[in-house]
């Protein structure tokens, strides 16, 4: 085997020309920077939870100045990354530079305008964690130490960008959170207030999930797709409703799996550990397994519904 430096380079260059689809070469703009977006996530968390992720305390009289500086930095950096995403989506040749910059600027402004709403939702998530975990001592512990708060905060920001039709960046954000916490929430998932994931490791929530208010999940829960319809050419159909809806005041215990775009978990329902579901469950139910048989009990009557 020829192991000279030149032969190694030539061999890899040959693979670039032979194997397409995993090369991205351009004389103009690069794709969005994964490292930059990860840093942006940390900056967003500082804006959402001021004083919690600092090396030094923030004095009250300095809050306006620090917030202004952080928003200015976020606008500049995110504007550049979103512009690259727009070029990627629309095609570099057809994209007018001025139009791209203007669109990116408008999207950044709309995104940051969502921060007060996102903070209100995150307050309810921290409250849900405090109310739902007897081990939680205070809000400080939850914000600093609970992985679900980091994952949910990043997902709520990513969902705002997803709703604005910003490509690539929302998914990079939630995969960063997934890597940090073991909690995998697609940016497309719609999540209500007072959302709590206890422990969190191994939780998966799909793109088309709709989750109501006051929902509590435990580790290992999957809200996933039942199947993947294909078109006449055998390609998976994109964009259809694939993941379940979970209505308000639902608790889902560890390692339960709920699948399917038509599956609805009715409000005030409890899903027991290790349950596997591909069907809708009426409101006010308790679902567990007895051997291999699924048992659905009416919480009000204490009697089986099926």
Domain boundaries, position 249: 202-306
Is 216 found in the same domain as 150? no
Residue 13 has pLDDT above 70, yes or no: yes
- pTM recorded for the entire structure: 0.92
192 located within any domain: no
- 139 within some domain: yes
For 267-291, the pLDDT digits (tens) are: 999 999 999 999 999 999 999 998 8
Q: How far apart are CA 175 and CA 34, in angstroms?
A: 10
Calculate the average pLDDT of the chain: 92
Structure tokens that stand for 85 in this block: 């995403």
- Which of the pair, 192 or 236, is modelled with greater confidence? 192
CA distances in angstroms from 70 to 54, 79, 123, 260, listed in the order given: 13, 14, 21, 41
Q: Is 110 exposed, middle or buried (0-12, 13-18, 19+ CB in 10 A)?
A: middle
Given a cut of 70, whether residue 302 has pLDDT beyond it is no
- Tokens encoding 88: 């990627």
Q: What is the CATH number of the domain that holds 45?
A: 1.10.3130.10
Domain boundary among 151, 182, 213: 182
pLDDT at 257: 98
Q: Which pLDDT value is given to residue 238?
A: 83
- Compute the distance between CA of residue 160 and CA of residue 245 in angstroms, rounded to an integer: 19
Residue 13 maps to a domain: no
Copy the structure tokens of residue 191: 């999540």
Give the whole-angstrom CA distance, residue 188 versus residue 159.
6
Q: What is the CATH number of the domain that holds 251?
A: 2.160.10.10
**Confidence class for position 133, pLDDT limits 50, 70, 90:** very high
pLDDT one-digit tens code per residue, 47-92? 999 999 888 888 989 999 999 999 999 999 999 999 999 987 776 5
Cβ–Cβ < 8 Å for 225, 243: yes
Q: What is the tally of structural domains in the chain?
A: 2
Q: Which SS3 state, helix, strand or coil, does residue 49 take?
A: coil
- Do 199 and 130 contact (CB within 8 A), yes or no? no
Tell me, yes or no, whether 242 and 299 share the same domain: yes
Matching residue, tokens 């998914």? 171
Q: Is residue 221 part of a domain?
A: yes
**224-252: per-residue pLDDT in tens?**
999 777 888 878 888 899 999 999 999 99
The pLDDT-based confidence of 2 (bands split at 50, 70, 90) is: low
């Amino acid at each position: 085997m020829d192991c000279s430096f030149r032969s190694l380079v030539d061999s890899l260059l040959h693979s670039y020309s032979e194997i397409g689809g995993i090369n991205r070469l351009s004389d103009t703009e690069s794709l969005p920077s994964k490292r930059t977006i990860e840093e942006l996530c940390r900056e967003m968390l500082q804006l959402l939870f001021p004083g919690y992720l600092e090396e030094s305390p923030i004095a009250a009289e300095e809050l306006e100045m620090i917030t202004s500086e952080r928003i200015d930095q976020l606008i500049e950096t995110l504007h550049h990354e979103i512009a690259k995403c727009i070029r990627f989506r629309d095609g570099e040749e057809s994209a007018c530079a001025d139009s791209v910059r203007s669109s990116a600027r408008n999207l950044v402004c709309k995104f940051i305008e969502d921060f007060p709403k996102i903070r209100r939702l995150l307050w309810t998530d921290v409250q849900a964690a405090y109310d739902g975990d007897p081990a939680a001592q205070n809000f400080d512990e939850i914000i600093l130490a609970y992985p679900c708060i980091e994952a949910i905060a990043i997902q709520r920001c990513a969902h705002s960008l997803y709703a604005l039709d910003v490509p690539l960046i929302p998914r990079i954000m939630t995969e960063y959170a997934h890597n940090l916490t073991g909690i995998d929430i697609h940016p497309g998932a719609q999540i209500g207030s007072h959302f709590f994931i206890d422990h969190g490791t191994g939780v998966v929530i799909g793109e088309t999930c709709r989750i109501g208010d006051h929902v509590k999940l435990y580790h290992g829960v999957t809200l996933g797709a039942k199947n993947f319809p294909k078109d006449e050419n055998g390609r998976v159909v994109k964009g259809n409703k694939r993941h379940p809806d979970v209505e308000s005041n639902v608790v889902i215990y560890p390692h339960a799996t709920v699948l399917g775009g038509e599956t609805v978990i009715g409000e005030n329902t409890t899903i027991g550990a290790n349950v596997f579901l591909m069907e809708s469950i009426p409101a006010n139910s308790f679902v567990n397994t007895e051997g291999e048989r699924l048992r659905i009990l009416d919480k009000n009557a204490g009697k089986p519904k099926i």
